[in-house]
Structure 1
Amino acid sequence: MKLVILDRDGTINEDRDDYVKSPDEWIPIPGALEAIARLNHAGWHAVVASNQSGIGRGLFDMSTLNAMHLKLHQLLAKQGGRIDAVFFCPHTPSDGCDCRKPMPGLFKQIGERYGVDLTQVPVVGDVLRDLQAGSAAGCQPHLVRTGKAARMSDAQIDELCTQVPGTRVHQDLDAFADWLIAHEREVLGLPADPEATGRKRDA
């Protein structure tokens, strides 16, 4: 099973300093849903691992979170893609749980649910804790320069990467999808994807 684990806020959808609290505030980052669909079409299963402390803070309830994810699924379906499952931590930092990133609990749940070894499973996020959680579970860390990372300087990005060795940096989820699909074809000894080559020529 080809699995990729994605952060939500700042990676798939626009982040907010005051938390994404409703479906109206859940706005996809341009190109992100299309990127997930392209990964799906290349045989990758995508799951989300997300801190959602807004529940623990009383900013929104489970029905609102479900409505946000329904919007995600519906918009993604229009692009021909899908998220297999959303794993989330509802706790606040003071709860001391194992599922709030940077702890690896969510990733362990994903590994158990799908019966897969997480070694080298790509994890994509926009903040340090996403990469730390994934790396602690054995995943391959990838940083996208969207969300909170969009406000970081090159020096700050370099410093972040030194804290999680092996981190690859991509402009956004679209660029990550290009890299992962091309990397797999290279490993398998396949020629470059002509569709991806055309996309880059048009860009």
Structure 2
Amino acid sequence: MRLILIDRDGVLNVDRPDSVRNPGELVPIPGSAAAVARLNAAGVRVAVVTNQAVVGRGIIGPDMLEQIHHRLADDLRRAGARIDAWFVCTDAPHAATARRKPGPGMLREAMDQFRIAPAETVMIGDAETDLEAALAAGCRRVLVRTGKGAATQARGIKPHLLPVAVHEDLAGAVEALLAPA
């Protein structure tokens, strides 16, 4: 494992039903920043891959999204963590391109940027779309129960998406991924 791809809402920060619309609404999930710091310390690249239709729907502008991501990066930095790259798809669902999860576009862009193969890449998300994107990109799949994760698991993970490792949160997922084999 050389690259971890992380969904934003529901994995790094609390997922809001009305979307995070400004930096003040961004609430980190406890332990998520420390988990990213553990990955950084282990020499694993970390990239965020996030759908942000809140921009495509015209609810916020690209500048506000940048401010939200700056706030998240600052929160991570205070915990000794960093994101190596951000991949954001602002497509509205009705105008989705292959970049928008469940499409694999952003995941493939990340692997191309770091020149890391799908077999060495793990996608951590809280939604079926994250798992679908990871499958399409050839990555290992991890579901966290934060955000939409518990509901995703309760609905049942579709057989074609298996195997999927399930953990309580990002901290638990990182602990398992970094555990000696």
The TM-score normalised by the length of structure 2 is 0.95
Gaps of 5+ in 1: 187-203
- Contact 1:119–1:137 under 8 Å retained in 2: no
C-alpha displacement of 1:119: 2.1
8 Å CA contact 2:126–2:152 kept in 1: the answer is no
Give 1:72 deviation, angstroms: 1.2
Choose the corresponding residue for 2:168, options 159, 166, 171: 171
How far is 1:163 from its partner?
4.2
CA distance in 1, matches of 2:177, 2:171: 10
- The AA in structure 2 aligned to 1:110 is A
Structure number with greater CO (CA < 8 Å, separation at least 6) is 2
Q: How far 1:154 sits from its partner (Å)?
A: 5.8
- Distance in 1, matches of 2:123 and 2:75, equals 22
CA 86–163 in structure 1, closer or farther in 2 if over 3 Å, else same? same
- Report the RMSD for the aligned CA atoms in angstroms: 1.5
Change (3 A) 1:155 1:17: closer
Give yes or no for contact 2:127–2:152 (8 Å, CA) kept in 1.
no
Distance 1:50 1:155, change over 3 A: closer
Q: TM-score, normalised by structure 1?
A: 0.85
User: Which structure would you say has the larger Rg?
Assistant: 1
Q: Would the aligned equivalents of 2:3 and 2:120 in 1 still touch at CA under 8 Å?
A: no
Shift of 1:162: 2.6
Q: Distance in 2 between matches of 1:162 and 1:145?
A: 18
Q: What is the DSSP-based 3-state SS (H/G/I as helix, E as strand, rest coil) of the residue aligned with 1:160?
A: coil
- Give the deviation of 1:39 after TM superposition: 1.2
Q: Where does the alignment leave 5 or more consecutive residues of structure 2 unmatched? A: none
Instruction: Identify the residue that residue 159 of structure 2 maps to in structure 1.
Output: 162
